[in-house]
Structure 1
Amino acid sequence: MTAIADEQTRALAQHMFDASPDTADGAARPASSAEERATALTELSGRHGTKFILATFVDLNGKPCAKLVPVEAIAELADGALGFAGYAAGLIGQKPQDGDLCAVPDVSSFTPLGFIKPGLAMVHCDPHVGGEPWAYAPRVILKNALARLAAAGMTAKVGAEVEYFLVAKDDAGALSTADARDDSPHPCYDARGVTRMYEHLTHVSEAMNSLGWGNYANDHEDGAGQFEQNFNYDEALVTADRVVTLRYILNVLAEQRGMTATFMPKPFTDRTGNGLHFHLSLWGAGDTPLFPDESDPRELGISRDAYSFIAGILEHAPALQAFLAPTVNSYKRTGATTTESGATWSTNRASYGGNDRTHMIRVPDANRLELRSGDGAANPYLAIAATIAAGLDGIEKAMDPGTPCGPGERKPHAHALPATLLHAVEALRSDDVMLAALSGDAAIGRYFADAKEQEFIAWHGQVSDWEITHYLTAV
């Protein structure tokens, strides 16, 4: 499939989905009928030789959940008749006694995956319960956030930088770099490391370009065994879907070569961790960019609304980190003091500046901001939704972030980012805006906070090698 074909897929679905329908709760809802979805899926499947469709959604932790549906059952898929036991699927707001989650496919997300298995495709779905979109489902959460943004006359476009390690695991469970020769303390951009992984990197690149994503760079990142493969920015929901799809593609293609692709924030103590950086911009009517302003007296070239959007993110940064860095391991990355390369590339304060990668928010040019505190464990739907909620609060309250930091400068009043997942949970519980960032319902925010607290406690209850080393004969 070419980029043109990808545009055709989206065009085919465009008339079936209203980007901002008038509904009682402001949520984006599919305007198409089951029959229309079935017709479109049948046409797309025929065009691409599809035999089986992965009907996919993710839980709040970002785990991809799917059923493999033969094209002969497209009518059932289109009708939302595929039932999932939500509690078994993962963290998604259900108990064992609750009714099924029913996956309703978004035809515009149809993605042929013939480069993985001939005849395979994926379609992202919105889980429903009782005929209504399930407010705990991450894709529904992002659609609700975008509906609120649309009500304010704006849309969001997002780019994502997906970092990952290629590793091997021995029989004892110890991790090592999949490429044994990739052992330099300064491997970033190393042409030799990229060449040794040529088959993997080019397979992924060709896959992205066949889907029309516009892969424009593939590089070795700062840690031994670490890579990043970039694709063009797009509408927020499209980019979130693509992050989920890319993680799946990377996992499967790596496994086919006997490797494991991991997005774990900090798989190695002495190496840089995996980030998931987002490049965000706001747009108004007629696809007019709202960030650039040549008259900016602070000389970043951005508008008052852009500054207020930044201010909202910085104001809510401690609570926002619960969504951007959502695991125990995340805080091994942001809390790192050194790595082999000499830099961690992960800020621990809520600051902003120009083209300076040491801040939580970098403004590389007048068209966008880069949010750098997210990591590889972040669920892209939740991360983008929560960031929009924080930034929109800044715009609505006309917040001012103060003057930008100069190169390497630190502002003493900047919020410190949480030291652990438990600190992030505590910040989330005390921030009403962030608690309500998930579908506008604070109960969902509390559910997420409770789950993350239990995750921290489960980890804390394990005795580690570090403890044995330090305490076994300490007294």
Structure 2
Amino acid sequence: MTEQWRWTPGALAAPARPDLALAAEFLAKNDVRFVLAQFVDIYGTAKSKAVPVDHLEDIVTDGVGFAGGGVYGMRLAPHAPEYMLRGDLSTLTLLPWAPGYARMMGTGLVSGRPHPVDTRNILAAQVARLTERGWTFNSGIEPEFNLLERTADGSVRPFDATDTMRKPAYDYRGLSRVRTFLERVTASLQALGIDVYQIDHEDANGQYEINSRYADAMTSADTITLFKMAAGDIAHELGALCSFMPKPKGSMTGNGMHVHCSIADAEGSNLFHDAADQNGLGLSKMGYHFTGGILKHARALTALLAPSVNSYKRLVVGRTASGTTWAPVFTAYGDNNRTAMVRAPYGRVEIRTGDSGMNPYLAQAAIIAAGLDGIDNRIDPGPPMNVNFYALSPAEVAAMGVGLLPQTLSEAIEDLAASAFFRDALGAGFLDEFVSLKRDEWTDYHRHVSDWETQQYLTFF
């Protein structure tokens, strides 16, 4: 097994030379030739430069320069200063599936200051608010994905062509026949000390989930980025395609990315837990207030958790073409209620709106901001609702005082654009950039003539 890199997390400032010497020794011992200086764009996609290992010091001192105008969402024009990534040695990570390579993330700087549109910086700012109080936001993020292959006609199908069951969730054969891929991804994560504890076949043919143990918000986001890299590269080597598209096909269940949340104190105690909770959810007042903040900002928050046109083919009211939905659109919470936006699986909360297309840095930053608003203002989420919302009519849901999440990207983006709260919490520059890009995405989508339209209207009129 690859030797694990167990650097003690420290400040984001450039580390001292003894740390560099130890890092260089570690990389040499593991035959690393290149370090990927890495950040994520506004969509959460990994962006990198390969730096020969003998230039390791450059990454953590001056930083690595990128032309920010070449990356979506950086809010940098071609004549703007360079976007500089100054590496954080605590993020130095081997890439077991890519021998000879490591990666390092860090602080994105422009003119020597943290760039306010860099989504990792946005998350760092929200984490700092918690640190000031002696708190840590812990999250367990559950990524769903499809393992597919392209056919001769250019269409896609499950990589395991025998995965055709009508309801394949948890099917043994569905796991066994793609075990080479699942085992290689899992082994890569485990080699880095990431505790993978469950792997399963999900509801759709060719759909899977690999879950790892919870961690602090930044580590969780960095782990999801690593996971997507590993899964994509290993699938490619096997002749497969790993897709995190929210809804690859109308007849298939979509790919969610549920976020389990709690806040711990300096001793590591879960501040969301209270065994004396009269509702039986094991939630403290803080946990309820946090939930209240999430529900209060639910519609604007959805734009950040479900950030694509395709996301809203998953977040639908009523019966879906797949026959099953685990993507609740109702702004309510309950015990083990998977039809509500927020589930409370005893002593923590699970936000079920997000999909696998979300940026995990940005999504968690928004969740923390909304949750802290609930805590600081003691927002009451109301009583838990343990009913099957999908069995109720829209009128019955409305009569319960339960709202609906946006049903299109346009709705969600306009709710976000109108949110003075998120403009202040996440930054006006970021919000304007995100809203502008997503309005353009919505416009582009409506200019496209789909196959459905051609089939429906070509000879109809």
TM-score range (shorter-chain normalised) is over 0.9
- Secondary structure (helix, strand or coil) at the match of 2:309 reads coil
Matched, 1:77 2:63: no
Kept in 2: contact 1:236–1:384 (CA 8 A): yes
Taking the aligned partners of 2:168 and 2:46, their CA distance within structure 1 comes to 31
Taking the aligned partners of 1:188 and 1:80, their CA distance within structure 2 comes to 50
Kept in 1: contact 2:174–2:201 (CA 8 A): yes
Residue in 2 that maps onto 1:356: 337
Structure 1 counterpart of 2:448, one-letter code = Q
Structure 2 counterpart of 1:64, one-letter code = A
Q: Deviations over 1:253-293 (max 9, x none)?
A: 00000001000000011010001111110112322221111
Deviation at 1:49, TM superposition (A): 2.5
Deviation at 1:401, TM superposition (A): 0.3
Deviation at 1:341, TM superposition (A): 5.5
Matched, 1:400 2:380: yes
Taking the aligned partners of 1:400 and 1:175, their CA distance within structure 2 comes to 46
Kept in 2: contact 1:145–1:388 (CA 8 A): yes
Taking the aligned partners of 2:434 and 2:221, their CA distance within structure 1 comes to 19
Consecutive unaligned residues of structure 1, counting only runs of 5 or more, are 18-29
Taking the aligned partners of 1:227 and 1:287, their CA distance within structure 2 comes to 31
Deviation at 1:39, TM superposition (A): 3.1
Structure 1 counterpart of 2:7, one-letter code = R
Q: How does 1:130-279 map to 2 (within 5 A)?
A: 130-170=111-151, 172-279=153-260
Matched, 1:343 2:324: yes
Matched, 1:87 2:73: no
Q: Which one is further off, 40-49 or 229-238? A: 40-49
- For these two proteins, the number of residue pairs brought into alignment is 453
Deviation at 1:37, TM superposition (A): 5.6
Kept in 2: contact 1:9–1:44 (CA 8 A): no
Deviation at 1:36, TM superposition (A): 5.6
Cα 1:174–1:80 shift into 2, 3 Å: farther
- Secondary structure (helix, strand or coil) at the match of 2:276 reads coil
Deviation at 1:34, TM superposition (A): 6.1
Cα 1:388–1:421 shift into 2, 3 Å: same
- Secondary structure (helix, strand or coil) at the match of 1:331 reads helix
Residue in 1 that maps onto 2:359: 379
Percent of pairs identical after alignment? 38
Kept in 1: contact 2:205–2:252 (CA 8 A): yes
RMSD of the alignment, in Å?
1.8
Cα 1:317–1:472 shift into 2, 3 Å: same
- Secondary structure (helix, strand or coil) at the match of 2:425 reads coil
Residue in 1 that maps onto 2:84: 102
Taking the aligned partners of 1:191 and 1:80, their CA distance within structure 2 comes to 51
> Of 38, 42, 60, which residue of structure 2 is paired with 1:56?
38
Structure 1 counterpart of 2:62, one-letter code = G
Deviation at 1:96, TM superposition (A): 1.8
- Secondary structure (helix, strand or coil) at the match of 1:450 reads helix
> Of 6, 12, 20, which residue of structure 2 is paired with 1:9?
6
Matched, 1:434 2:422: yes
Q: Deviations over 1:416-451 (max 9, x none)?
A: 10111000011101211122332xx22321221111
Structure 2 counterpart of 1:9, one-letter code = R
Taking the aligned partners of 1:54 and 1:228, their CA distance within structure 2 comes to 27
Q: Deviations over 1:154-211 (max 9, x none)?
A: 2201111011001122354322111111111201100001000011111111111111
Taking the aligned partners of 1:185 and 1:435, their CA distance within structure 2 comes to 45
Structure 2 counterpart of 1:252, one-letter code = D
Q: Deviations over 1:446-465 (max 9, x none)?
A: 22111111111111111111
Kept in 1: contact 2:250–2:322 (CA 8 A): no
- Secondary structure (helix, strand or coil) at the match of 1:381 reads helix
Residue in 2 that maps onto 1:417: 405
- Secondary structure (helix, strand or coil) at the match of 1:458 reads helix
Taking the aligned partners of 1:338 and 1:268, their CA distance within structure 2 comes to 15
TM-score normalised to structure 1 length:
0.91
Deviation at 1:335, TM superposition (A): 1.9
Deviation at 1:361, TM superposition (A): 0.7
Q: Deviations over 1:285-325 (max 9, x none)?
A: 32222111122222212111110100100110100011100
Q: Deviations over 1:381-422 (max 9, x none)?
A: 000000000111111111000000014255732221011100
Deviation at 1:216, TM superposition (A): 1.0
Kept in 2: contact 1:52–1:69 (CA 8 A): yes
- Secondary structure (helix, strand or coil) at the match of 1:10 reads coil
- Secondary structure (helix, strand or coil) at the match of 1:39 reads helix
Kept in 2: contact 1:40–1:107 (CA 8 A): no
Residue in 2 that maps onto 1:26: none
Structure 2 counterpart of 1:435, one-letter code = R
Deviation at 1:46, TM superposition (A): 2.6
Taking the aligned partners of 2:33 and 2:379, their CA distance within structure 1 comes to 52
Deviation at 1:105, TM superposition (A): 1.2
Structure 1 counterpart of 2:345, one-letter code = P
Q: Which one is further off, 397-406 or 144-153? A: 144-153
TM-score normalised to structure 2 length:
0.94
- Secondary structure (helix, strand or coil) at the match of 2:230 reads helix
Structure 2 counterpart of 1:456, one-letter code = W
Deviation at 1:359, TM superposition (A): 1.3
Cα 1:37–1:57 shift into 2, 3 Å: farther
Structure 1 counterpart of 2:228, one-letter code = R
Consecutive unaligned residues of structure 2, counting only runs of 5 or more, are 390-396
